[in-house]
Structure 1
Amino acid sequence: DGVANGDGISSKLNGNSIGSKIDTPNVKKRHRRAKSGGLKNVGDGDDSDGYEFMIVSLENKQWHFEAGDSQERDEWINAIEQQILNSLQGNEINKSNKRSTPSDPAGMQAIRTIRGNNSCADCGAPNPDWASINLGTIVCIECSGIHRNLGTHLSRVRSLDLDEWPPDLVRVMMSIGNGIANSVWENSLKNRTKPGPTSPRDEKEKWIRAKYEAKEFLPPPPYLDIALNQQLIDALVREDIRNIILVLGHSRAEDINCPYSKDDGRTALHIAAALGNVVYVQLLLWYNANVKVVDHEGRNALWYARSSGSTECVELLMNNGCPEHPTLPRRRGSSAQAGKNDVFEKLPASVI
């Protein structure tokens, strides 16, 4: 949300906002937009000393910078990062000023009071004001930049102060928080030392990538002899948010979209919708749950959401492309009843 475009960044860099660093004579500011062939490699005929870096936008525009030495390079990086941050904040403030219905301050304060949310989930910096909504964590501004570099398939970053917060996202954040999330993602640190607020950025990035990308500190699934899709459904039925996060951390899309058994074609998304729990539905969608999958009786998640009476789940599923399905539910035969697992006996009768 709120990405400063390349032209905006480029124009600000040519102004006075970064100070005297702009006039440094030893820095060659080659703002070369990448063509299809990509950027030129270091040392291919120019007089570069090798102290180079690039800015890559979300639209894959690229700018190549060279500096005379490592200190000058680091000064440039710090200055440009600060300018990009200022541009992001400026864009978001302008957008927020135009809103007729800003985010509920009470909801934002409630998120901040969840266990562990008084400090950054990744480095412990006090009073963080950025969130990773799919992880359910609060992080500081520096760690939020690292999270953005992970990609939205791992972390979806949003500002507590600058972005809009629909009620369903607030509920996700209220259901998790840094305490629960870190009990999963930092369960087994293997004698690794967690970075602190003043640790260098590269140390924080190594930690965050090891934590969420390589999943080095993730504990084993709750049960080693039960399929992940069955464990996920069991955690949903029991409303065990910690185990839901843990199993999702181990799961691939095929696990999440796998039916419970050969006799019961319901997937985790069907069960979450049947429970009418918008938090679970949203988490599953972020983890690539397929809204078009139907169960053994031809019913999709939208049918289950409507049966549960949850308008929030219905709207969320429809907004994510869950189709209206013409197949009417059929009465389950004795063979299906015989294959029913006791985990579903804990569901409401309307779900069965």
Structure 2
Amino acid sequence: MTVDFEECIKDSPRFRANIDEVETDVVEIEAKLDKLVKLCSGMIEAGRAYISANKLFINGIRDLSHHSVLIFQLFVSFQECLEKCGESLQEIVNYHMILFDQTQRSVKQQLHNFVKEDVRKFKETKKQFDKVREDMEIAQVKNAQAPRNKPHEVEEASSTLITTRKCFRHLALDYVLQINVLQAKKKFEILDSMLSFMQAQYSLFQQGFNILDEVDPYMKKLAAELDQLVIDSAVEKREMEHKHATIQQRDFAYDDSKVEFNVDAPNGVVMEGYLFKRASNAFKTWNRRWFSIQNSQLVYQKRLKDALTVVVEDLRLCSVKPCEDIERRFCFEVVSPTKSCMLQAESEKLRQAWIQAVQASIASAYREISDNYYIEVTSPSTSSIDSASEPRERIVKGESILQRVQSLPGNEICCDCGQADPRWASINLGNLLCIECSSIHRSLGVHCSKVRSLTLDTWEPELMKLMCELGNTVINQIYEGACEEQGLKKPGPNSSRSEKEAWIKAKYVQRKFLKKMCGSEALVEGSRKSHHWSVKKCRRHNSSIRAPKTRRKYRHDARIMSPREDSDESSGEVDIEQEASDPEDGRELDPKTLLHKASRARNLSVMAEALAHGADVNSVSEEDESKSPLIQAVAGGSLIACEFLLQNGADVNQRDVRGRAPLHHATCLGHTGQVCLFLKRGASQMEVDEDGQDPLSIAVQAANADIVTLLRLARMNEEMREADGPFGQPGQYPSSSPTELQYRKCIQEFICLSIDEC
């Protein structure tokens, strides 16, 4: 419906009729659009409530699918079905959200804007148009009523009519223009809004169809599985009813004949069940608890959710025995170094089963400490340390040891003749040699020099560490200290063999070039600058009980003390505190005293100097309970110092005034690596001290599980050697047997831990 502009100028009855029709139509369309917008708002609110309810429903499906993992573990399709249904419904809900968002924009907002902006503007213009038209009608009446005999009134009325008619025509044209635009706009605005809404509806159902169409094959497959599930459930129901009827016919008395234990159980639980435990309070009450043997521990709990209470922390340290001297029946006792626990089973068979389970767990714990590492058999080397079996990752051979040892200051050339790239070493002296000088060293005898190849022989980690602690610079400062004062010339790489041999014998056998002991202070200071010993806290593996940390104080010379204050021993930590003043001067010490103090202070360079000046490696200190340098090195906590003394002929079984050998002292201090080293060197563990204690009893009292295990393994190994030797002769046990290799591998692994972790 359009209004003619010409009719607007004439202000004809036809124009006025058209205006009335347009105004009536606008009022009607406004009312209908308002109603439609309100209905759209209600639909959107209801749709959002529908979406919220759908989301809650989908979350419920997801919760059920997660719960089904616990309930329907054997029926994987159940969880998969719920997850797929939840995913599909979630996508459909997402499309519903898109639909309502589109409806919000295309219907509610678009039509609302049309009503509030275009229709409101039309109404405002209509008010102005009605007022101007009324003013023009008044001006026309006044102009018609003006008398002829009053010219000024006629002129005034005519002027007012002209002005009013001009204003009316301008406003009427604008009004007609707005009417025609509104009529045209209303057509495409409403149509565009409805079309957008219908397209959103189409997208919703089309996408929903695509989603469900993709799921359709799976649903058909699931329907077939569901049919089979119904059949299987019926069969299972019949079987359960049969089992129920069978069990009902049994005697419900407790049957303990089938009680058994398994030390190799996959879950680590060797045995579990109810036992009565006697409390440690004054009333000695008995409580029924659920006990289990797991991870080499005896534990119990009252309820499933309660934390485990540890009765025995390490079964390797305990023993078990039946008890017949109390009133209750079927009792047995588990005894550890710190406490004992009285337990009661429900029958004699159960008691025997528990005792056997504890004993089997103890044996299994011993096996585990040996079986945790890989066994590798190597050829014997020229070292006094037997390397018949070492862990693969711990053995260093070839170029790696060559590079590490040659990187030390002075080790790039031969210690005696200066030949470049030396590939041989004297392991008791700690220096590097060329092949010609090494052959001369061999002729001196192993009491003077023990030669080993850096590339052809296998090196134990303790020997490699020993070589890295000394080196050519340190050794030459000791054995060639007086060469400069005497004006002697050292042989070179091109010197004859006789010249080199004469020099080496004079240097190491006759010791003509030693500097006096008064130079030890400068040597120690030099070694401090050339060596950086890092301080690290030690970590233990496979040990449930740590040896107590011991702090030892003793008097010593400050110049002898190594800059390293933490022990390189892994199973215990020994802190050695320096005292600010000591009346004893290092320059006045005799070689024997210097060796004792340096051994305790873990200073290998000063130890080498003392040995060079004639100190007896097995000398004893009358002022310190007749302790040997090896015992002093044990007290200092250094495995490498012990290795150095042993390489130079220290007696591993030499005892002090209290009857304690180095193995006793290492066990008391909890030095697991030193214990392993002494056992590896054939230390006797059967000797007792003045208190009647052997190393094993000391370790048991200290509750050191690692050392107890090592000593027991060593004792078992010795017993098997004596029992299995051919023709009943002890000492003929084959060195390559599985038991021997297992034991040696275990010993070497603890030594490696002591070196690597400190």
User: TM-score, normalised to structure 1's length?
Assistant: 0.61
Aligned to 2:610: 247
Instruction: Measure, in 1, the Cα distance between the counterparts of 2:665 and 2:675.
Output: 9
Secondary structure, counterpart of 1:256 in structure 2: coil
Distance 1:142 1:306, change over 3 A: same
Q: Which runs of 4+ in 1 moved over 4 A?
A: 99-102, 222-225
The CA deviation at 1:146 is: 0.8
The amino acid across from 2:675 in the alignment is: V
1:106 Cα deviation after fit = 3.5
Q: CA deviation at 1:261?
A: 2.1
Cα separation, 1, equivalents of 2:639 and 2:439: 28
Deviation at 1:294, TM superposition (A): 1.5
Specify whether residues 285 and 137 from structure 1 end up closer, same or farther in structure 2 by C-alpha distance, changes over 3 A only: same
* TM alignment of 1:75-94, pairs within 5 A: none
CA contact (8 A) 1:117 1:178 kept: yes
Q: Secondary structure of the residue that 1:158 maps to in structure 2?
A: strand
The equivalent position to 2:432 in structure 1, one of 135, 138, 152, is 138
* Residues 225 and 183 (structure 1), Cα distance of their counterparts in 2 relative to 1, 3 Å cut: closer
Task: State the 1:315 CA deviation.
Answer: 2.2
Supply the AA of the counterpart residue of 1:281. C
Structure 1 residues 107, 308: closer, same or farther in 2, change over 3 A? Answer: farther
Compare CA radii of gyration and give the structure with the larger one.
2
Partner of 1:236: 599
Specify the alignment match of 1:343 in structure 2. none
Gaps of at least 5 residues in structure 2 are: 1-380, 382-389, 521-585, 693-758
SS of equivalent residue, structure 1 residue 315: helix
Contact 2:447 2:649 survives alignment (8 Å): no
Looking at structure 2, the residues matched to 211 and 263 of structure 1 have their Cα atoms a distance apart, in angstroms, of: 33
Is contact 2:425–2:433 with CA below 8 Å preserved after alignment?
A: yes
Change (3 A) 1:294 1:100: closer
CA 263–281 in structure 1, closer or farther in 2 if over 3 Å, else same = closer
Aligned residue for 2:405? 111
- The answer as to 2:574 corresponding to 1:213 is no
Cα deviation, residue 302, structure 1: 0.5
Q: C-alpha distance in 2, partners of 1:243/1:123?
A: 24
Q: 1:269, CA displacement in angstroms?
A: 0.9
Q: Which has the higher helix share?
A: 2
Shift of 1:262: 4.3
Tell which deviates more after alignment, 213-222 or 117-126. 213-222
Q: How many pairs are equivalent?
A: 232
Moved more, 213-222 or 305-314: 305-314
User: CA separation in 1, counterparts of 2:619 and 2:444?
Assistant: 27
Greater displacement, 150-159 / 318-327: 318-327
Structure 1: distance between partners of 2:503 and 2:628? 34
Question: Counterpart in 2 of 1:274?
Answer: 635
What amino acid does structure 2 have at the position aligned with 1:244?
M
Structure 1 match to 2:28: none
Structure 1 residues 196, 144: CA separation in 2 closer, same or farther (over 3 Å shift)?
Answer: same
Mark the CA change 1:295 to 1:245 in structure 2 (over 3 Å): closer, same or farther: same
- SS of 1:208's partner is helix
In structure 2, give the amino acid aligned to 1:103: V
Residues 154 and 212 of structure 1 are in contact (CA less than 8 Å); yes or no, is this contact kept in structure 2? yes
Identity of aligned residues (%): 35
Of the candidates 650, 665, 668, which is equivalent to residue 307 of structure 1?
668
Q: Could you report, residue by residue, the CA deviation over 1:144-169 in whole angstroms, capped at 9, with x for unpaired residues?
A: 11111111111111111100000111
Partner of 1:16: none
RMSD: 2.5
Aligned to 1:201: 497
Answer yes or no: is the 8 Å Cα contact 2:634–2:666 preserved in 1. Answer: yes
Equivalent-residue separation in structure 2 for 1:130 and 1:298 (angstroms): 40
Q: Which residue of 2 aligns with 1:23?
A: none
Opposite residue 246 of structure 1, the aligned amino acid is: E
Question: Distance between the aligned counterparts of 2:514 and 2:407, measured in 1?
Answer: 25
Aligned mates of 2:691, 2:606 — CA distance in 1: 31
1:1-352 equivalent positions in 2, closer than 5 A:
101=392, 103-104=396-397, 105-189=399-483, 190-221=486-517, 222=520, 226-252=589-615, 255-262=616-623, 264-324=625-685, 325-327=687-689
1:183 counterpart letter in structure 2: Q
In the alignment, the residues of structure 2 paired with residue 192 and residue 157 of structure 1 have an alpha-carbon distance, to the nearest angstrom, of 26
CA contact (8 A) 2:602 2:636 kept: no
Output one character per residue of 1:180-220: Cα deviation in whole Å (capped at 9) or x when no partner: 11110111112111011111111111111110011011123
Matched-pair contact (CA < 8 Å) for 1:299–1:329: no
Q: Which amino acid aligns with 1:109?
A: Q
1:225 offset after TM fit, Å? 5.0
| Counterpart-to-counterpart distance in 1, 2:621 and 2:435 | 41
**Alpha-carbon spacing, 1:276–1:263, altered in 2? closer, same or farther (3 Å):** closer
Q: Which residue of 2 aligns with 1:79?
A: none
Higher relative contact order (CA 8 A, sep 6+): 1
Whether contact under 8 Å (1:276, 1:309) holds in the other structure is: no
Residues 117-140 of structure 1, C-alpha deviation per residue, up to 9 Å, x if partnerless? 000000001111111111101111
Residue aligned with 1:313, SS: helix
